[in-house]
Amino acid sequence: MWSSVSLQRVISADSWAVCAAPTVMDGGGVVAFAVDVSPDRSSASIGAASFTADGIPFVDVVESRRGDPDWGVEKIAGMCDRHDVRAVVIDAAGPAVSLVDPLRQRDITVTVTTSRQMAAACALFFDSVMDGGMRHLDQPLLNSALAVARKRNIGDTGWGWSRKDSASDITPLIVATLALWGLTSGEVVPVPRRRSGIAVFA
């Protein structure tokens, strides 16, 4: 019996396990953040990506919470005050796009991905796992999201994570994917350095 591609994991558990590093040491450099909201707006997640002390990109699901997603605005603003932020990323085709204006009203510079950029982010995430070029903290929420996540076509050759076809909340996976892209892509909108809530250019 042929099994449908849509019923198969996109990344195998074995490949994912190779990249697990729950005790990873943060290199203390730049960080990229991402926010995503579930289609029914019942949950939201914030993810981050930075480099290990050895210079390898790693992803972290900073927080995932049920309820009104507006909490993410205050959380992101606080993190931008405390870190050297390279990018804050939100998917233009996702429900979190409603947070873009509130973030900008807090003087947070946001990169809103096009469909092409989302496909590039998913390709980067996939390739980074398959070649062992990234690390994750072996977090149950992210592990579970990856296990149920399925693909959706973007254009003729690209793909993205499918919120519609996934069995449960995959916002942790989407923020990890977008944060990793935000850490390394040359297409992000740079975030000015902030001190005590005031943006200043580096």
What does the pLDDT look like over 17-69, one tens digit per residue? 999 999 998 988 999 999 999 999 989 999 999 999 999 999 999 999 998 89
Q: Is 191 left (phi over 0), alpha (psi -120 to 50) or beta?
A: beta
Residue 201 confidence class, pLDDT cut points 50, 70, 90: very low
List the single range of 58-62, 109-113, 139-143, 165-169 with lowest mean pLDDT.
Answer: 165-169
192 pLDDT more than 90: no
Question: What span, in angstroms and rounded, lies between the C-alpha atoms of 48 and 175?
Answer: 7
> How many residues are listed for the chain in this entry?
202
CATH number of the 9-187 domain: 3.30.420.240
**Predicted TM-score of the model (pTM):** 0.91
Please say whether the beta carbons of 32 and 49 come within 8 A: yes
Q: What is the domain partition of the chain in residue ranges? A: 9-187
